[in-house]
Amino acid sequence: MLKIDSNELQKLYIAYFGRPGDPSGINYWLSHSSELLTLKDISNELSRQDEYTKYIGNDKSLESKINRLYLNLFSRKPDFDGLNFWLEMVNAKNYQISDIVYNLLYSFNERGPIDSEQLKEDMNILENKVFAAEIFTNKISKSISLINLYQPESLSPWISGNSLIRASNFISDVAYQNVSEDEVIDVINTLSDHSINILTNPAIELKDISLSIPVHSIENRSLTKQFAKSVINITGGELTESKNGTNIIALNDINLTIMKGESVGLIGHNGSGKSSFLRLISGIYQPTSGELKSSVDVYPMLQKTFLTSSELTGVDACKAHYLLKNHSLDGFEIFLNEIIGFSGLGSYISLPIKTYSEGMSARLIFSILTSSPHDCLAIDEGFGTGDADFCDRAEERMRKFMESATTLFLASHSEELLKQFCNRGIVFSHGLIVYDGPLDAALNYYHTHDYYRKNVIK
């Protein structure tokens, strides 16, 4: 029995559809390879899919279908003897398209008349196509955004759309020369009208990350230990005891890669680990164990009290932020006037922040933090914008601010907000990631009874 691996599956995708396999399709067949499926079974199933029957094979003669198979696989049409061989096999042995595909790929003794040189050329071209398709699929699979992009325009009725057509055109051009990774990335960049080359590079990589936060309290440690054993938490991470006291396991066993350009919604019940995760990737917390790699500066908007001391004046807070970002005070007066104008603080800007109302403080911090774009944002929905009359202006500014970010992390309970800005969803529970996928699927998982049964109601 022939081994089912991604290379062999790519051959079938190229034969039927003339394109690289999509990650979900490849993974589906690999996950079912233990169910005694053969490549012949998979070939038969692919021949029945709408992409082939309603788009590629629809209303075409048998000769046309055979020609298309040869063009997809070998970048040539069959010669006269080869075409007649398959037509005879259809008549004599009731061959279907799936039989022709299987024998073309895996049964060289039943391919009809072909000289050794032509066979060698065909195999060389097919090998190069498979090599290019593997690079393409592997690159796509690293980003939820790219996975979502590499989809048909419509399923019912089937319409391939630009991304599948462009990938098919790319594979059809592969012949005798190996394709480089850079050439594949160039093709991926054409799948959208917008530049998406950043989506092929990781922004943040987390491997086996855990975060333990010590609890410092004058409460009796034995009492804490007693409650940790007897009370089942429905929120927050696990409580553990050590000789140094009580610890909260805020995050545990986090393995994740976020690509540059992704917009990620963080979903979960209160205390599930969302805010701890934002603090971790922002550098506010350091992991207790594991490895965190970041190729971007993550700009945190977490809570309105974290930015500066309340003893400083509003002017001092603006100056500290401006120096941190620009390393000089050149142009500071223009910046300060913009903050005063947008926040509406007027002469209060010269007073200590501790004299501000909560709404005034929120106005100042919001105005400062959204004053310029950033490559990567980490935003917690707990970050407020102050009193009601400020919210309308703040909403539009916040929208533009979030859209300016190359990479975005947004923790929120607002589905409307998440759907507006995010395309990937990560669901947290008790410091663990319990789901990672497209945003709609993540929200659906979060709302299922199974999530609450397993992750909230203990």
Place 126 in a pLDDT band, splitting at 50, 70 and 90: very high
293's CB contacts (< 8 A; 6+ apart) are 202, 204, 205, 206
Residue 67: which domain range? 6-199
Instruction: Select from 165, 199, 233 the last residue of a domain.
Output: 199
Mean pLDDT check: name the lowest of 175-189, 374-388, 444-458.
444-458
128 and 258 assigned to the same domain = no
Give the mean pLDDT of the chain.
Answer: 82
**Which domain-ending residue is among 164, 199, 234?**
199
Residue 294 has pLDDT above 90, yes or no: yes
Residues, the chain? 458
Backbone φ/ψ region at 144: left (φ over 0), alpha (ψ -120 to 50), beta: alpha
pLDDT digits (tens, 9 = 90+) for 313-324: 999 989 988 888
Where is the domain boundary, 135, 168, 199? 199
User: Is residue 290 domain-resident?
Assistant: yes
At residue 32, the pLDDT reads 74
Residues 213 and 275 in one domain: yes
pTM equals 0.55
Do 187 and 258 belong to one domain?
Answer: no
Tell me, what amino acid is at 242? S
Judgement on whether residues 131 and 14 belong to the same structural domain of the protein = yes
Tally the domains of the chain. Answer: 2
* Residue pLDDT, tens place only, 194-213: 445 456 678 999 999 999 88
State the average pLDDT over residues 262-286: 90
One domain for residues 96 and 212: no
Quick check: is 449 in a domain?
A: yes
Q: Do 180 and 219 lie in a common domain?
A: no
124 is a domain residue: yes
> Can you give the C-alpha Rg of the chain in angstroms?
29
* Whether 180 and 224 share a structural domain: no
**Domain identity same for 112 and 158:** yes
pLDDT in tens, 11-22: 999 999 999 999
pLDDT tens, 6-49?
999 999 999 999 999 998 888 888 877 766 788 999 999 999 99
Residue 1 included in any domain? no
- Minimum mean pLDDT range among 109-123, 124-138, 224-238, 417-431: 224-238
Asked if residue 215 and residue 352 are part of one domain, the reply reads: yes
Helix or strand (DSSP H, E) at 255: strand 245-259
- Specify the CATH number for the domain of residue 315: 3.40.50.300
Report, in this order, helix, strand and coil percent for the chain, each rounded to 5.
50, 15, 30
Identify the bridge partners of residue 292 per DSSP, sorted by sequence position.
206
pLDDT band at 144 (very low <50, low <70, confident <90, very high): low
Domain for residue 275, yes or no? yes
Task: Answer yes or no: do 253 and 383 share one domain.
Answer: yes
Are 29 and 113 contained in the same domain? Answer: yes
Count of CB atoms within 10 A of residue 144's CB?
25
339-359, pLDDT tens digit by residue? 999 888 999 999 998 898 877
- Asked whether residue 122 carries a pLDDT value surpassing 70, the answer given is yes
The whole-number pLDDT of residue 230 equals 42
Are the C-beta atoms of residues 203 and 260 closer than 8 Å to each other?
yes
Residues 239 and 209 in one domain: yes
